[in-house]
DNA sequence: GGTACAGCGCTTGTATGTAAGCCCATGACA
DNA sequence: TGTCATGGGCTTACATACAAGCGCTGTACC
């Protein structure tokens, strides 16, 4: 008997819109319209509008009164901020992992690693597993509930990562994941910390290269000029 | 010419509600009603409802479909999560402070410290200065934009702090602030880190004592039982 | 051809109406 | 006295109507 898990219409719209933005299915700069989205999703403007407001608070969309709503361009500053935040949190969490971590949580991580090998070529699935792996590491230290905050802050980082998917083979990341886990479970705290920092920064470095190739998707500075009808996506 | 600074009605309602929740003017457990709030604030239900949705995403209020909306009780787990998050971020930021920090930012911090002495007895003002001080420290490392994320996550922590205002003299905190800044500007990084950690944990320790005195304001576990009409506040 | 201006279409913001459901009080009944 | 059914009043979720304003586009004029 959960309190309010009600599968409300707003929740469905929010989840779907967020997924499409993060997957770049709705590309940075794309114009959104409450009316169009409502019609396409078969709901009224209300749940669509409320979802857009939530996404705008996360920084994933920008709403301009009486002008329009747009998917945010990837902001390099926000990417860097998210990188700093996640690195601070994940490294600090490693220090709080007990010497005898929860066996179930460890088993989940090992299984996740195995699945990563299988999904090495499926980018979408690999990203999902990658997220779960990092979340699982926080769980080892009992900090799993901090993950949602990190997730909410790193939307720009995630989009940049997807853009840079071809830069580094997923095999490299999988090996780094395994190395971090091994060092951690062997009690080599300092090594685990160093490995994790290297892993996170490698991801970050890829983004710089991507930016040179696809400058249109990035917002160079605070010039938030809305471009009407740049792209018509969705269905 | 800012893009969308439009002083919209929703923004005003959101700011006001958030302020009242964090200041405990709207105490944990208080019942909120879209209709009542709308009438009291002289607006329609729409901006009120949208504000409540935003606050619920921050965890400051809980909305139960077709039952009611309530100010969240202070959740000790969330307080601990926020403590971990802010400690991770603020300590990591200290490591990124350059050897020659921006003089203007340093001057702001020194002035802030002076004001803290003057406002030692004005709890509300001291809290404001305390927030600005910690925000300013992040600015020294160029991580000032991470502060909003920390702020959004530490609502429960802030309410708990206000409850524990009498536990420790503000003088103690002011001295700790000054010590951290002195060590940092003198280049004693490790000492600054240790002092900051001690400062943040002292604040946290106070909360435990408060909880024993005012258990009603805390949610012991996940029992999210809505209590109708517990308090009628707001003029 | 070039330029200024007016109007129209689209946008979001706000207000209001409708629907569905939970909680509690009231009253019948054993 | 205790217990169970039922209805009314309240809630939020969603749908719709109205208001206000930006920006493009066509047109008149030079």
List where CATH 1.10.10.10 sits in chain A. 9-73
Predicted confidence (pLDDT) per residue in B71-80, tens digit:
999 998 999 9
The nucleotide lying nearest A7 (C-alpha to C1') is: D13
A53/B84 Cβ within 8 A = no
**Range A25-40 average pLDDT:** 95
Q: Within 10 A of A40 (CB to CB), how many other CB atoms are there?
A: 12
Structure tokens at B182: 């002195």
Percent of chain A with pLDDT over 90: 74
Query: Does the structure show a pLDDT above 70 at B87?
Result: yes
* Bases of chain C within 7 A of a CB of the protein: 10-17, 20-24
Nearest to A21 by CA among A235, A191, A227, A234: A234
- Top-confidence residue, B141 or A121: B141
Instruction: Give pLDDT, residue A227.
Output: 56
Nearest to B51 by CA among B20, B73, B5, B82: B20
A92/B84 Cβ within 8 A = yes
B84/A88 Cβ within 8 A = no
Query: Does the structure show a pLDDT above 90 at A129?
Result: yes
H/E element holding B92? helix B76-95
Query: Does the structure show a pLDDT above 50 at B235?
Result: no
Predicted confidence (pLDDT) per residue in B178-209, tens digit:
999 999 999 999 999 999 999 999 988 888 78
Query: Does the structure show a pLDDT above 60 at A130?
Result: yes
Instruction: Give pLDDT, residue A208.
Output: 77
In the block, tokens 């002195």 appear at: B182
Instruction: Give pLDDT, residue A191.
Output: 98
Instruction: Give pLDDT, residue B208.
Output: 78
Instruction: Give pLDDT, residue B213.
Output: 81
The nucleotide lying nearest B68 (C-alpha to C1') is: D11
Instruction: Give pLDDT, residue A223.
Output: 54
Give the nearest partner residue to A4 out of B8, B65, B91, using CB atoms: B65
- Top-confidence residue, A166 or B222: A166
In the block, tokens 């590309």 appear at: A27
Instruction: Give pLDDT, residue B225.
Output: 56
Structure tokens at A145: 């509930």
Contacts of B94 in chain A (CB under 8 A): none
CA distances from B33 to A30, B41, B234 (A): 36, 12, 11
φ, ψ dihedrals at A39, nearest 5°? -65, -45
Instruction: Give pLDDT, residue B220.
Output: 62
Contacts of A88 in chain B (CB under 8 A): 88-89, 91-93
Q: What's the CA–C1' distance between A35 and D22, in Å? A: 17
B57-61 long-range contacts, CB within 8 A, separation 24+ = B57/A54, B57/A57, B58/B18, B58/B152, B58/B155, B59/B155, B59/B156, B60/B18, B60/B21, B60/B22, B60/B155, B60/B156, B61/B21, B61/B32
Of chain B residues 7-46, which have a beta carbon within 7 Å of strand D?
32-36, 45-46
Instruction: Give pLDDT, residue B163.
Output: 82
Structure tokens at A50: 């409320």
Q: How far apart are CA B44 and CA B51, in angstroms?
A: 12
Strands B68-71 and B31-32: antiparallel
Nearest to A65 by CA among A34, A26, A28, A30: A34
Q: How far apart are CA A17 and CA A52, in angstroms?
A: 8
Averaged confidence pLDDT in chain B: 90
Nearest to A214 by CA among A159, A141, A150, A158: A159
Task: Assess if CATH 3.30.420.310 describes domain B9-73.
Answer: no
Predicted confidence (pLDDT) per residue in B218-234, tens digit:
876 555 556 554 443 33
Instruction: Give pLDDT, residue B33.
Output: 96
- Top-confidence residue, A174 or B161: A174
A91/B87 Cβ within 8 A = no
- Top-confidence residue, B51 or A215: B51
Instruction: Give pLDDT, residue A211.
Output: 82
pLDDT tier at A44 (50, 70, 90 boundaries)? very high
Instruction: Give pLDDT, residue A226.
Output: 59
φ, ψ dihedrals at A162, nearest 5°? -65, -35
User: Per CA to C1' distance, which residue is closest to C21?
Assistant: B66
**Which class is domain B76-215?**
mainly alpha
H/E element holding A106? helix A103-118
Structure tokens at A215: 């400058």
Nearest Cα of chain B lies from the Cα of A59 at a distance, in angstroms, of 11
Structure tokens at B198: 């001690």
Query: Does the structure show a pLDDT above 60 at A143?
Result: yes
Residues with Cβ within 8 Å of residue A44, at least 6 apart in sequence: A38
Nearest to B74 by CA among B129, B17, B139, B156: B156
Instruction: Give pLDDT, residue B30.
Output: 93
Q: How far apart are CA A54 and CA B188, in angstroms?
A: 42
Give the nearest partner residue to A64 out of B4, B63, B143, using CB atoms: B4
Structure tokens at A113: 């690693």
User: Per CA to C1' distance, which residue is closest to D19?
Assistant: A66
Q: How far apart are CA B60 and CA B21, in angstroms?
A: 7
Predicted confidence (pLDDT) per residue in B114-173, tens digit:
999 999 888 889 999 999 999 999 999 999 999 999 999 999 999 998 887 777 788 999
Q: What's the CA–C1' distance between A69 and D30, in Å? A: 39
Instruction: Give pLDDT, residue A205.
Output: 87
B131-139 long-range contacts, CB within 8 A, separation 24+ = B133/B109, B133/B177, B134/B90, B136/B105, B136/B108, B136/B109, B136/B112, B137/B90, B137/B93, B137/B94, B137/B109, B137/B180, B137/B181, B137/B184, B138/B89, B138/B90, B138/B93, B139/B102, B139/B105
**Range B102-113 average pLDDT:** 98
* Bases of chain D within 7 A of a CB of the protein: 10-17, 20-24
Q: Output b/e per residue, B21-42; b: 16+ Cβ within 10 A.
A: bbebebbbbbbbbbeebbeebe
Averaged confidence pLDDT in chain A: 90
List where CATH 1.20.120.530 sits in chain A. 76-215
């Amino acid at each position: 008997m959960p309190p309010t898990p009600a599968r409300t219409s707003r929740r469905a719209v929010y989840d779907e819109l967020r997924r499409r933005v993060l997957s770049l299915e709705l590309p940075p700069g794309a114009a959104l319209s409450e009316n169009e989205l409502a019609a396409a999703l078969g709901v009224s403007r209300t749940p669509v509008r409320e979802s857009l407001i939530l996404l705008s608070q996360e920084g994933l969309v920008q709403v301009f009164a009486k002008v329009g709503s747009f998917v945010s361009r990837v902001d390099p500053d926000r990417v860097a901020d998210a990188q700093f935040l996640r690195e601070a949190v994940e490294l600090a969490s490693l220090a709080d992992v007990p010497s005898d971590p929860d066996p179930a949580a460890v088993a989940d991580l090992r299984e996740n690693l195995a699945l990563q090998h299988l999904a090495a070529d499926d980018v979408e699935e690999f990203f999902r597993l990658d997220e779960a792996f990092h979340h699982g590491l926080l769980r080892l230290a009992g900090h799993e509930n901090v993950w949602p905050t990190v997730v909410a802050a790193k939307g720009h980082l995630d989009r940049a990562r997807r853009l840079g998917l071809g830069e580094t083979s997923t095999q490299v990341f999988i090996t780094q994941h395994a190395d971090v886990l091994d060092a951690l479970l062997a009690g080599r705290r300092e090594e685990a910390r160093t490995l994790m920092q290297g892993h996170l920064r490698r991801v970050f470095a890829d983004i710089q290269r991507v930016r040179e190739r696809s400058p249109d998707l990035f917002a160079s500075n605070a010039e938030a000029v809305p471009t009407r009808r740049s792209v018509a996506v969705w269905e």
